[in-house]
Amino acid sequence: MQNIKFMDFCAGIGGGRIGLESLGMSCLGFSEIDKDAEVTYRYFFGKDEKNYGDLMKINPESLPDFDFMVGGFPCQTFSIMGTRCGLEDEERGQVIYGLVNILKAKDVKYFILENVKGLLNHDKGNTLKTVLELLDNAGYKVYYENLNSLDFGVPQMRERVYFVGVKKELIDDDFEYEFPKEFSGDKKDLEACLIADETLVFDEELASYQTFLKYLDNKYNKDKYSIDELLSKEYRVIDTRQSDLRIYHEKTPTLRRGRHGILYVKDGKFKKLSGYEALLLQNFPKKYADLVKDKVTNSKLLQQSGNAMTSTVIEEIGKSLMKAIGKE
């Protein structure tokens, strides 16, 4: 796969890129408008990487020729956590049109696109129908599937819908693609990701701890939990992002860009999930996480990780796609 060139659109901090590069593909550039994400991306991949900026303003003729597009087009418009205005959102929902324009102009052979699972039923399925029609009319045979990162080597529950497209002229009528069901490589356990920094101990010395105690006493949680009981099991994961406290074992809930209230128990203490650990939960290799340690703030890394693609999901989809088209 060394001769396959790709571009990384709505790149975030490069989870999709890591997935495809692990297969031997080469990245020719990226497109990202979030300046903070761009800083992190450059720490990972080099300061000289070409950012083509806002894809809605890109002249496709300025792009190099490439075979493969990977992109996580903005999900807030379709998410249950967002406004759910979908394709009517002029700033974010329309990005799919920009991606399609580039696909057609550059005659791209293959693509993997990602979005939240809320896209599947948004507007009673009409949004999904529109997206599929756009891609079909652009000349692609398209497949889509809702996959959970938990099945792809990381201890994080994260459902996302993935679209795979192949240029129709490259395949015959009998061509079929099947999404992978799980990661074929080594799986990370929770302990390998939760390697806390002592500065993120969550205890009585923090003002936010008193807020946590009040939270445990709200109408949803009152008389259900005690501090001693919560601290009694190592690596118990505690999600405080809803009104009711939620507990997980051997996995974490979905990382999100804007909501960071995940705690866990280690050495008999509460720890706050760090941005470094969030990167590991998205399967960014430790060598990448080390590049931004103490250089990008914890809050920014949490946001960026919550908005990133899980690299192993993209890796496995890319691998199965190359197998299907005979390029493995």
Instruction: Report yes or no: 147 and 273 within 8 Å, Cβ to Cβ.
Output: no
Q: Which of 10, 27, 75, 193 is catalytic?
A: 75
Instruction: Report yes or no: 238 and 264 within 8 Å, Cβ to Cβ.
Output: yes
- Give the contacts of 45 (CB within 8 A, at least 6 positions apart): 14, 17, 27
Cα–Cα distance, 163 to 319 (Å, whole number): 14
Cα–Cα distance, 282 to 257 (Å, whole number): 13
- Give the contacts of 90 (CB within 8 A, at least 6 positions apart): none
Q: For residue 208, give the H/E element and its range.
A: helix 207-216
Cα–Cα distances in Å, from 272 out to 227, 237, 240?
15, 10, 11
Tokens, residue 207: 């003002």
Tokens, residue 15: 């989870």
Instruction: Report yes or no: 154 and 305 within 8 Å, Cβ to Cβ.
Output: no
Sheet holding 26-31, edge to edge: 26-31, 5-9, 68-71, 110-116, 159-167, 140-148
Q: For residue 21, give the H/E element and its range.
A: helix 15-21
Whether 10 is catalytic: no
Angle between helices 126-137 and 95-106 (to 10 degrees): 20
Return the bridge partners of 148, or none. Answer: 159
Q: Is 180 helix (H, G, I), strand (E, B) or coil?
A: coil
Tell me the catalytic residues: 75
